Amino acid sequence: MATSPFFTDLDQIFIILRDWLVGFLPASWRPAACVVLEVIIIICVFPGLFALTTVFERKGLGRMQNRLGPNRVGPYGLFQPIADGIKALIKEDIVPFSANAVVHFLAPLSLVVAVFMEFAVLPMGRNMVLVDLDAGLLFFFSMSVSTELSVFMAGWSSRNKYSLLGAMRAVAQMISYEVVLLLSSVSVVMIAGSLSLSTIVAAQSSYSGIFPHWYIFTPWGLAGFVMYAIAATAETNRSPFDLPEGESELVAGYHTEYSGFKFALFFLGEYLAMFSISGLGTTLFLGGWSAPLSFLTFIPSWIWFFSKVMLSIFVFIWMRGTLPRLRQDQLMNFAWKFCLPYTLLNLIVTAFWHFMGEGWMRWVVCTAILAAIYVFMGRVEMRSEHFGPRRYRYAE
């Protein structure tokens, strides 16, 4: 159904604005200026969203815990991030005496740089990708693993046993769940046939009747999305996987020795990682910038993308307010003994889905297999554990 030119223009408004602004420059400068402008916009928009998310998180968590969040600074407390930002900027920057100053300085920088790079491949609207890479998904995951190294650098350079312990736990957790994250995305790549994120979104933006072809509405997509969500929560060190920065266990884990603006950079990095991984989850499973019902396509695509990302953030906050923290061994057990086998089996079921062809039978078979495996493995996982002293055969 044809949408009116007003809505098409609204959909492409940022592209139109960009072209108009860049049109002032000579033709040879235009491509570079385009990219620079888009980079500037990303650097302004996402930290702004981060500021808004901090206050929404505090108020949301408060409401879930039967209390108000901050409500003194500005109307309904919405200027709280400004107060927090000023506080972070004027605090004294303390570097421990025996810490490794160079690595200590570089750790938050490399974290933030790697996380900002992740936004380069997310399609935030129709025609609104910064760089349309052929191997976009791979680029995203490459940047995601670079953050693990900076977490380690932060923990090690602080010369503090709690930081180091927190960093090692964080890295172990992130590596384990990275595997789950990658494998659950592979099933999407298998069906979409490309690593390029804009192709994956385009494959999901068709409709049968009024229902969209989002991958979450398929059995393997739902299972993959659940695994992806769990792995994404663990990757960004969010509750219930926030043992590395658990305040009651490890002071503040790997960012114990960071104060002032460097701590703010870690905080920024964590939240931006949350945004980008939600953005990727939206792109892979929730249809990216496409509308949920076919008659809603008049609403601009970037509104849909950001709404879905903010919905994911709300679910992150919801989980934080609900679940207790997982212990390190519980976390690792869960990753390697439940999530990884389930994700591998999900890959096989995705292959069945692809080769069975269209029809109702593939729905029934795939749903049955996935549900049965889930129930069976759930029972195995929920067996009670037996504790005792551990002996290590090769270490004695």
Partner 1 sequence: MLGEGILKGMAETARNFFGSYVSKERLTTVEYPEERIPTVEAARVFPFLVYDGADWEAGLRCVACQICEKECPPKCIYIDKSKDKKPDYVGKQQFYPARFDIDISVCMSCQICVEVCPFEAIKMDTEYELATDDRFGGLLYDRKQLARSNEYYHSIHPTEASEVDARLGEEKAKVEAKARAAAEAAAAKAAAAVPPAPTIGGGS
Partner 2 sequence: MNVVFYLLAAITLAGGLAAVLLKHLVHCALATTVAFAGLALLFLQLDAQFAGFAQILVYIGAVAILIVFTILLTRGSELPKGGVFSRTWFVGLVIAAGVFAVLAWAVLESVRGIPQQTAVPAVTVHDIGNALVGRYVLPLEIVGLLLTAATIGAVIVAMHEKERRQ
Contact positions toward partner 1, by CB under 8 A? 60, 63-68, 71, 318-319, 321-323, 338, 374-375, 377-379, 381-382
Find all residues with CB under 8 Å of 328, minimum gap 6, and list them: 169, 172, 173, 243
Closer CB to partner 2, 148 or 249, in the complex:
148
As to burial, measured by CB atoms within 10 angstroms (0-12 exposed, 13-18 middle, 19+ buried), residue 168 is: middle
Q: Give dist(CA 142, CA 130) in Å, integer.
A: 17
CA 132 to chain centre: 19
CB 50 within 8 A of CB 272: yes
100 contacts 157 by C-beta, under 8 angstroms: yes
Give the whole-angstrom CA distance, residue 306 versus residue 300.
11
Instruction: Pick what 153 binds: partner 2, partner 1, none; C-beta below 5 to 8 Å, kind-dependent.
Output: partner 2
Residue 394 touches partner 2, criterion: CB under 8 A? yes
How big is the CA angle at 356 (ends 353 and 358), to the nearest 5 degrees?
Answer: 90
Q: Taking CB within 5 to 8 Å according to partner kind, which of partner 1, partner 2, none is near residue 68?
A: partner 1
Q: Does 41 bind partner 2 (CB under 8 A)?
A: no
390 binding partner 2? (CB under 8 A): yes
Which residue lies nearer to partner 1 by CB, 93 or 381?
381
Smaller CB separation from partner 1, 379 or 386: 379
User: Which parts of 141-160 interact with partner 2 (CB under 8 A)?
Assistant: 141-143, 145-146, 148-149, 152-153, 156
Let me know: does 259 contact 94? Beta carbons within 8 Å. yes
- Binding pattern to partner 2, positions 330-369, x when CB under 8 A? ----------------------------------------
Residue 67 interface partner, choices partner 2, partner 1, none, CB cut-off 5-8 Å depending on type: partner 1
Q: Is 379 in the site for partner 2 (CB under 8 A)?
A: no
Nearer to partner 2, 100 or 367 (CB): 100
Query: What is the spatial distance between Cα 17 and Cα 225, in angstroms, rounded to a whole number?
Result: 35
By CB under 8 A, is residue 175 in contact with partner 2?
Answer: yes
Q: Which residue in 181, 297, 313, 318 sits closest to 240, CA to CA?
A: 318
Contacts (CB under 8 A) with partner 2, residues 6-35: none
Question: Taking a C-beta distance cutoff of 8 angstroms, is the pair 224, 346 a contact?
Answer: yes
Give the nearer residue to partner 1 in terms of CB position, either 89 or 323.
323
- Interface of this chain with partner 2, residues 73 to 112, rule: CB under 8 A: 100, 103
- When CB distances are held under 5 to 8 angstroms depending on the partner's kind, the choice from partner 2, partner 1, none that residue 323 binds is partner 1
